[in-house]
A and B are shown apart, each in its own frame.
Chain A
Amino acid sequence: MIEDLFFLEKQTYKKSFIHDLDARVKIIVAFAAIVAMVAVPYSPLVFPVALVFLVFLLLLWGLSRLSPIVYLQRLAVILPFGLFIILVQVFVQNPYYEVFTPILDLPLGIHVYAESIEFAGILLLKFLVSVSFIILLSSTTRMQDLLEGAGRMGLPAEFTLTLGMMIRYLFVFGYMYRKINESLATRCFQASDSRLPYRYRLRTLAFTIGTLFIRSYEQGERTYLAMLCRGYGRESHLYIRNKPLFRSDRIFLVGGLFVVIATPVLLFVHSLHIL
């Protein structure tokens, strides 16, 4: 994951309408979309809501002028664990349905149920919408802007300072991680090489991890001492200057929130009328 750090940062430095929006606005809209999507009950109502959200997302991604390949590449890294849980759903019953209709009988008493397929689809769409908004947010907003945006919205000073330090040093360790991998490769060491004894591979990796731990601890000590020299103390905090929201930010905020809140509410009311 740390390998993608530099790729991610490169995307955030591009210019577009979405990139230029205030981080606060993007955080609120993205988080509201995720909460709204998750809050829709596990029911077929998820399908139309997710469809509207995905169209909205497609529009925003188009406005961000980022390549669709960036989205697909990032999605491919995130999907596996969620997909595993979703695939298993097809074969099992869940508490959200009362009657299960088997549509396929497999050996060992395994059945595929129509309702379970529907439930797997519901989970997949909810999951897809949630991660897509995170991909959009983190591909169009610099880490420092995210942090300052969160700080302006009231994230406690303890967190803005520590998260700020962590983000800064992520890049240091990103480079370190790359260098460690390169130096292991120059010694013809590959963790997946089965010709090397397993114990030897594990020991080498354990020493690498131990070294990384010590190096990060020592980096922390140096940073801490350097901060002390510059007057760091109990009351220190990350300085975040005030920043007004522009008209475009306000319009996007209102529009975005309207889409993510009104869509599930209106579709819910509509479904009640149909019933």
Chain B
Amino acid sequence: MHIPDAFIPIPQAAVYWIIALIFIALSLRWARNEMRDEKVPLVAVLAAGIFAIQAINIPIPWGTSGHMMGAALAAIVLGSPFAAVFVLTLVLIVQGVLFGDGGITVMGANILNMGVIGGFVGYYSYRGICMGIKNPYPAAFIAGWLSLFVAALITAVEMAIAGTFPLEIGLVTMGLYHAVIGVIEGGITAVALYLIFTARPDLLSETKGVSS
């Protein structure tokens, strides 16, 4: 889902950068104010961990493999969508500048899609569903699935606006592929959440909706 350079013209890429920068500033403010005792270094180290998590190959039934995005998981465990924005921004800077995965001019769009959309959709769908069904794990599954699926659809729309990929084909291919990968993102988000809750329930103490 990492859009490379050249697939979005500079003026549009600049707009996405501006939107992303607003959210990055808000996430910095969140890290300074909401996390107790200036825990910014903690989130930085966690970002390195998410980078490793994204490297783990997850098999998909028909033979290919996918990777976790981790936005929903980070947002749910840290109790704020801004956590996902913060963590994914760091991860995307490193991926873009060091590994060429995702472009420089389009980094704003990538941060917007994966960090902002992934984080906000993941977090608020989790909170909303939790209020309804009172069980965090199906909620985490749906939140993980939705975070990836919606982010993929937005990516397809951005590429269509840029004129580098037709809307219908983009929505169908990106939508279908990520609907399948999303099942894995959702499944792993739910199981990882279960594991974290079992091993370190204190981490989730601030996340409403998780009950023992």
> What is the interface of chain A, defined by CB distance below 8 A to chain B?
1-4, 8, 31, 34-35, 37-39, 42, 74, 77-78, 81-82, 85, 88-89, 92-96, 123, 126-127, 130-131, 134-135, 137-138, 143, 146, 158, 161-163, 165-170, 172-174, 176-177, 191-192, 198, 201-203, 205-221, 223-224, 227-228, 232-234
Contact = CB atoms under 8 A, between A and B. Distances in A.
Given A31-B104, A35-B105, A221-B42, 16 more contacts: A1-B51, A38-B9, A38-B103, A81-B2, A123-B7, A134-B99, A134-B104, A135-B100, A169-B45, A170-B94, A174-B52, A209-B56, A209-B192, A214-B203, A215-B49, A217-B77
A209 B53 contact: yes
The listed residue with most B CB atoms (<10 A of its CB), out of A85, A208, A211, is A85
B40 interface: yes
A58 to B, nearest CB: 17
Nearest to B103: A130
B172 to A, nearest CB: 12
A166 B163 CA distance: 35
B68 to A, nearest CB: 6
Interface stretch (B57-65, B119-127, B128-136, B146-154): B57-65
B111 interface: no
Contacts of B104: 31, 34-35, 130, 134
A20 B98 CA distance: 18
Interface of B: 2, 4-7, 9-10, 13, 28, 32, 37-59, 61, 65, 68, 73, 77, 90, 93-101, 103-105, 159, 163-166, 169, 184, 187-188, 190-196, 199-200, 203
B191 A224 contact: no
A130 B5 contact: yes
A95 B163 CA distance: 6
5 closest pairs, A vs B, by CB?
Answer: A216-B49, A126-B6, A210-B195, A206-B191, A210-B192
